[in-house]
Amino acid sequence: MNRLKINVVFQALALLFCFYFFLFSVATVVSAKIVFRMDGDLYVMNDNGSGKRRLTDAPTTDDAHPRWSPDGQYIAFRRGMAKRSAVFFEVFIINADGDPSPQRLTHNNIFEDYPAWSPDGQHIAFERSDEVHVIDIATRAVKQLTFAETHEHDGSIVPDWSPDGSQITFERFLSFRDPKGGGFVGKRIYVMDADGQHQRPLQPLRKIDENIMQFEPRFSADGQRVLFNDCKWIDDNVKCRLSFANLGGVAHVIEDLYNRFGDNFLISYASWMQNDRAILFAMKRLDKPDPNYDIYRYTFDTRKIRRLTDDPRDEKNPDWTEGALSVSPHGKMTTRWAEIKTYGIDRERR
């Protein structure tokens, strides 16, 4: 009889262990999520492409360029709206659990776009009228960081914050004069201190003998590299290479993408994920009938490319978070986000 009781107890404990292990496994799988845009609304899904869920549903607006807050609890994005015959963009924040009433941060009825959180969650860098600004979320105070002071500088957009909060990278339009006459506009990735000082190119400027356009910079989790799309226009042909570069260093092309697909694709909004072990991006395969953007991930260790979505509609602007942590985005943080990570809590354009 005692042996029977013991067996029953052990079986119950085994079932209980399996139950808690299952719950822990599920929590682990879904703790990291991807946010992206489809048909003018925002969606979230798990790392493997499962669990897709709509986050915004506003038929008269156009939501794009979502970015997770450092704690994974909020998402900043730009919302396109119409007033009379004009269309304008504003910056919003929404709870990641799908609160139907997003919080509007800007009210200027102009073009404000490309929000990016500071590592402490207290500020958001964004574009306003082709220049980089920063807004204090608590006070709504806005500071302009870049200025078109010369005819060679035609504007700065698409900011991204370094993990330690000390620097911001961004796109800068530059005008160049051709020695043979005429001129053209290029674009380079720049870096500056978080207060707007010491603005300098990510890489030494190359000889200007062709149109060079660099898009969508993203700092790596270690703060040492910047991921960007590097394109060259030669006559009527364009050649783009998804690349990353150390500050002040040469670019390294992610060759596996081009070895596999050639030049028969376009990439939009690539970002790092999994502590720089992988990248996430939207890609349009031009060699397919009726091509559209799907979301892919590329893992550096395995060199595998995996498609995460297959909807016939465009799925774009993906951004990744490692999951919710006990860090407040509203001024209660006493430890930098980068320090927490260190200790192992480890277009198509508009």
> Which helix (DSSP H) or strand (DSSP E) does residue 45 occupy?
strand 41-46
DSSP 101: S
Amino acid 238: pLDDT? 79
Amino acid 24: pLDDT? 41
pTM: predicted TM-score of the whole model, two decimal places: 0.81
Which band of pLDDT confidence, cut at 50, 70 and 90, is reported for residue 340? Answer: very low
| Residue 5 φ/ψ, nearest 5 degrees | -65, -40
Residue 71 reports pLDDT greater than 70: yes
CA–CA dist 53, 35 (Å, integer): 10
The residues, any chain, with a CB within 8 Å of residue 336's CB and separated by 6 or more, are: 119, 120, 164, 165
Which band of pLDDT confidence, cut at 50, 70 and 90, is reported for residue 308? Answer: very high
Do 298 and 278 touch, CB atoms closer than 8 A? yes
Residue 66 reports pLDDT greater than 80: yes
Provide the mean pLDDT of the chain. Answer: 82
| Residue 162 φ/ψ, nearest 5 degrees | -70, 155
Burial of 191 (C-beta count, 10 Å sphere; 0-12/13-18/19+)? buried
Q: What percent of the chain has pLDDT over 90?
A: 59
| Bridge partner list, 283 | 267, 294
Per DSSP, the residues of 299-334 read: ETTTTEEEE----SS-EEEEEEE----S--SSS---
CA–CA dist 230, 232 (Å, integer): 7
Any idea which residue has 């694709």 for tokens? Answer: 265
Amino acid 276: pLDDT? 95
Residue range 124-166, pLDDT digits in tens? 999 999 999 999 999 999 999 999 865 566 789 999 999 999 9
Amino acid 179: pLDDT? 54
Give Cα 187 distance to the centre of its chain. 19
Residue 271 reports pLDDT greater than 60: yes
Residue 119 reports pLDDT greater than 70: yes
Average the pLDDT over 4-12 and give the result.
Answer: 51
SS3 13: helix
The residues, any chain, with a CB within 8 Å of residue 248's CB and separated by 6 or more, are: 202, 203, 204
Residue 311 reports pLDDT greater than 60: yes
Do 251 and 203 touch, CB atoms closer than 8 A? yes
Amino acid 325: pLDDT? 39
Residue range 16-57, pLDDT digits in tens? 544 444 444 444 334 569 999 999 999 999 999 999 999 998
CA–CA dist 171, 154 (Å, integer): 11
Lowest mean pLDDT among 12-16, 40-44, 199-203, 276-280: 12-16
CA–CA dist 350, 348 (Å, integer): 7
152 vs 184, 210, 228, 236, 304, CA distance in Å? 10, 16, 22, 24, 41
CA–CA dist 226, 167 (Å, integer): 12
Amino acid 348: pLDDT? 41
Query: Which structure tokens are listed for 8?
Result: 């029953």
Amino acid 214: pLDDT? 92
| Bridge partner list, 94 | 75
- Cβ neighbour number for residue 197 with a 10 Å cutoff: 8
Residue range 235-247, pLDDT digits in tens? 677 789 999 999 9
Residue 250 reports pLDDT greater than 50: yes
Higher pLDDT, residue 144 or 175: 144
**Cα torsion at 192, 103, 60, 215 (round to 10°)?**
10
Amino acid 248: pLDDT? 85
Average the pLDDT over 175-204 and give the result.
Answer: 81
Amino acid 347: pLDDT? 37
Amino acid 184: pLDDT? 59
Do 88 and 97 touch, CB atoms closer than 8 A? no
Amino acid 21: pLDDT? 43
